[in-house]
Amino acid sequence: MSATSVEDLFQEIGREAMAAAGDDRAGKLLVYAEVERGGAEADVAYVNRRGDVQVVLGPGSLVDAVSALWRGWKEQRGKEQ
């Protein structure tokens, strides 16, 4: 996996997370993901305009991007974990 493809995947993950948060985001944003054989999950937590923390299930496109990053990372020698 090249540095460019890693950067592209991080950019895609960021775009998808921002879209999942929508216009209500007014503070920090966190993507929490778990990827295992046979499945993946990616959720987005963010601070909304009222200052509350919101958690939303990540859309399939976010899960796909996180999974692609995980698969690419595992392909790298010495980074199997």
Residue 46's domain spans which residues? Answer: 3-74
Distance CA 33, CA 59 (A): 12
- pTM for the full model? 0.83
Any domain includes 79:
no
Query: Residues in the chain, how many?
Result: 81
Any domain includes 21:
yes
Q: Which of 73, 53, 72, 66 is nearest to 14 (CA)?
A: 66
pLDDT (average), residues 40-63: 96
On the question of pLDDT at 22 being above 80, the answer is yes
Q: Which residue did the predictor score with more confidence, 56 or 39?
A: 56
Any domain includes 81:
no
Any domain includes 49:
yes
Any domain includes 14:
yes
Any domain includes 80:
no
On the question of pLDDT at 74 being above 90, the answer is no
- Number of structural domains in the chain: 1
One DSSP character per residue, 21-67 reads HGGGEEEEEEEEEEEETTEEEEEEEEEETTS-EEEEEPPHHHHHHHH
User: Quick one: pLDDT at residue 4?
Assistant: 67
Any domain includes 19:
yes
Any domain includes 33:
yes
Mean pLDDT of the chain: 89
